[in-house]
Amino acid sequence: MSVKQRLKRGAGILLPVSSIPSPYGIGTFGYEAYNFVDFLKNAGCIYWQVLPVGPTSYGDSPYQSFSAFAGNPYFIDLEILIEEGLLTRDEVISCTWMDTEDIVDYARLYNNRFTVLKKAFIRSKHIEQPDYLAFCRENAFWLMDYSLYMAIKEHFNSVEWLLWEEDIRYRAEASVLYYSELLKEEIDYWKFLQYKFREQWDRLKSYANYKGISIIGDIPLYVALDSSDVWVHGDLFELDERKKPIHVAGVPPDVFSKEGQRWGNPLYRWDIMEQDGYTWWKQRIKQVASLYDIIRIDHFIGMVNYYSIPADCPTAVEGEWRKGPGGKLMGVIKESIGIAKIIAEDLGVLTKEVKALLEDTGYPGMKILEFGLDGPAENDYLPHNYSTANIVAYTGTHDNETLAGYLEKKSNKEIQYISKYFNVKSKAELIEGIIRGLYSSIADVAIVQMQDLLKLGNEARMNFPSTVGGNWKWRLLKSQYEDIDTSFLAELASLYGR
């Protein structure tokens, strides 16, 4: 393993961009995002982890995006557009963005945000600006395809591309040319949104890096069926002659789910991808590496062994394991990643092949401390069993219960055991004790979920896996955020060399 790959010993906070406080219904790249960077600095943190920042579709999951390359227009800050003269304050405040500040109302955002952003587009003089033209050139691999896809989707009342008229569904050349001309202004609008997304994100990232904060971002292994990627590059996915999936992604039944998890993403044709040198993956990795300092590959295990479910099976009970590209794709990633680094989300069944690939790449894996709180002493997720420093340890992630929610369900006997392990005298001190245990571990990186720092219950949980609706909505209140005593984390960072 090369020294270059090892992550600097340090700590950070997991907080999605969508959860940042703002008066406009969802977190953005505006003033409060810069405040959060300052908060991290004051807390002695050197990492900020975010969830995928792509445009969300049905179900609001950042892991089911309309594009593996594009950014979420909801994150474009409206205050910055006001400062640039592209919007008036009256236009922005005349919309009702939310009923309550701690919940994202995605339906309301969908109905209002694009109307406001369209006004900014109409007033913009971006079309001949050198920065915009350079952006279009640098993103030529995906930008036009994505913008055409979104314009056509809007033209067909936002239905999935499999329900479009047959000629454009199959991307007949004459049809692509027809819609490219018919929807020329709409296409430019979607390009403009990507330009402003990237412009604002790059400024925020530069500020974070200036403050000594590295940004960790997620890359989902799979892409959504209803995406520009599958519509444009259908030959790279397991689709039949009608462009419908043959097999889909998921994980098999286990102790947590008798039916397993059927995610529904189309599977890759790895053999076809290999034939063209994994071009699509090269471009994707380059894009993600330009967004983040460190990339967390979600479901890393699927690169070695992936679960294939017949598309007509409503659950995951009929699937089978298949062999993934493994080291071949890792070579492509290494070639395309530039100076960015990798974290491998290796949670699940660690086969010999997965362990070997991790060892070969030197990528750090993950440990979820919450998984260890049930014991026994031999549990791999307890800090005293960490066998290497080359890992990223979390209190929990977006898919887990909050610590407070988890502990609330424990019996007195279980609480006594956990309290004894972390050397605290009462349940009230337990969460601080767990965070201290995380910081004091040998793990190179310790990440605390923001909800755990705030001691919030499961009402603040981000996601319940295998469910649709009600997820991805939690937002941080400005009052909660301002009341946090950063000296606690700063002291831990100093004590434990983070």
Told to judge if 345 belongs to the known catalytic residues of this protein, a careful annotator would answer: yes
- Decide: 112 and 97 in contact? Cβ < 8 Å: yes
Find the catalytic residue in 84, 276, 399, 459: 399
Told to judge if 298 belongs to the known catalytic residues of this protein, a careful annotator would answer: yes
The rounded distance, in Å, linking the Cα atoms of 150 and 186 is: 9
Find the catalytic residue in 298, 346, 401, 452: 298
The rounded distance, in Å, linking the Cα atoms of 348 and 362 is: 19
Classify the C-alpha dihedral 449-253-67-287 as positive or negative. positive
The rounded distance, in Å, linking the Cα atoms of 259 and 282 is: 35
Q: Which two tokens stand for residue 202?
A: 């790059």
Instruction: Calculate ∠ Cα 61-5-366, nearest 5°.
Output: 45
Three-state secondary structure readout of 374-433: CCCCCCCCCHHHCCCCCEEEECCCCCCCCHHHHHHCCCHHHHHHHHHHCCCCCHHHHHHH
Cβ density class 220-250: b for 16+ within 10 Å, e for less: bbbbbbbbbbbbbbbebbbbeeebebebbbb
Residue 267 in 3-state DSSP? coil
The rounded distance, in Å, linking the Cα atoms of 431 and 437 is: 10
Side-chain half-sphere of 120: how many Cα atoms within 13 Å? 29
Instruction: Calculate ∠ Cα 230-232-236, nearest 5°.
Output: 55
**Cβ-Cβ contacts under 8 Å for 331 (sequence gap 6 or more):** none
- Decide: 137 and 191 in contact? Cβ < 8 Å: no
What H or E segment, with its residue span, contains residue 137? helix 130-138
The rounded distance, in Å, linking the Cα atoms of 118 and 112 is: 10
Told to judge if 399 belongs to the known catalytic residues of this protein, a careful annotator would answer: yes
Backbone angles phi, psi at 142, to 5 degrees: -130, -25
Enumerate the β-bridge partners of residue 11. 446
Find the catalytic residue in 32, 345, 346, 452: 345
Angle, in degrees to the nearest 10, between helices 31-42 and 184-210: 20
Catalytic residues: 298, 345, 399
